[in-house]
Amino acid sequence: MEPTTTGRFRVLDRQPDGTILLVDLDEATAAATGEDPDADLRPIAVSPPVVADDAAETDAGDHDAATAETVDELEPGYVVDAELAWDDSDASFLACEITNRTRIQYADGVTGIFEKAKETWHDAQVAGEAMNSAVTYSTGKEPNGVVYVFAKQTPPRDLFEEFKTGATPIEPLIQRVNAHHDGDQEENDADATADTADDDEPQNRAVFVLNPADEEFVVVYIVFRKDGMLAQTVRDTYGLPALRTGD
């Protein structure tokens, strides 16, 4: 019988070969809180389930088909409760339930990077630091996001790709925002509504990883409300897809 793992995971990205990169949220929380600074944040490449045509009419086939349908819906940033089966070092989904729909979107070679990111990078340079962060605010002076800037690395390192593959973890940044800004939202949005998640469930964020073509830094911008005006503006500005119905 194959060994299995049950846990809570963040979807980091989809790979060209069809596998889905997952980050273990227990490990990420331990790293973010300092409980275990050496926690393993390497992502797990998990294969989607394969449903046999002749299994569709069985209870097991129905279960497999439902899991396959859920896995097909997964987007970078989603949080899932999942059961994984292992064949040596290869993992595949046995069960999957979406519990949070935070979105991570990646944009390479962008131009016209926003001024707050430039200011945050300038402050890092003045302080002689390779990274910096700052809270951003709406026109109504309400906090609406946190911008992180990181110095681009010397080749062969590519920090933007490292964020996509998990070689440089992005999850501790999300965990930090959830810990310190879970009650914040864009109060000035005329149509803003609070997320419907439970009080102890982090809001659905919009996380943007931007690689400017003409700057010396990479940006990770965590916007507090995924469906708010600010997140929509960032998507429009940098040519990122709009949210789908149900995202």
Q: Tell me the domain boundaries of the chain.
A: 4-100, 103-237
- The pLDDT, as a whole number, for residue 91 is 96
**Per CATH, the architecture of 4-100 is what?**
Beta Barrel (2.40)
Sign of CA dihedral 235, 126, 178, 73: positive
Gyration radius of the chain's alpha carbons: 19
Q: Do residues 224 and 144 touch, judged by C-beta distance below 8 A?
A: yes
pLDDT of the residue at 56? 52
Token look-up 């809270």 returns: 135
For residues 203 and 89, give the distance between their C-alpha atoms in angstroms, rounded to a whole number: 33
* Beta-strand runs (E) in 114-205: 131-137, 143-151
pLDDT at 31: 82
Which pLDDT score is estimated for 216?
Answer: 97
CB atoms within 10 A of CB 77: 23
pLDDT < 70 stretches in the chain: 1, 52-62, 183-201
Question: Which two structure tokens, joined as six digits, stand for 141?
Answer: 């002076």
In eight-state DSSP terms, residue 68 is H
Buried b (16+ CB within 10 A) or exposed e, 167-192: ebbbbebbbbbbeebeebbbebbeee
Q: For residue 114, give every residue at least 6 positions away whose Cβ sits within 8 Å of its Cβ, in sequence order, or none.
A: 237
Tell me, what's the pLDDT at 244? 81
Q: What is the pLDDT of residue 199?
A: 44
User: Residue 194 has what pLDDT?
Assistant: 41
Single out the residue of 103, 81, 78, 106 nearest to residue 94, CA to CA: 81
Helices marked H in 9-114 — which ranges?
A: 25-33, 59-73
Round to whole Å and give the CA distance between 127 and 118. Answer: 14
**What's this model's pTM, rounded to 2 decimal places?**
0.88
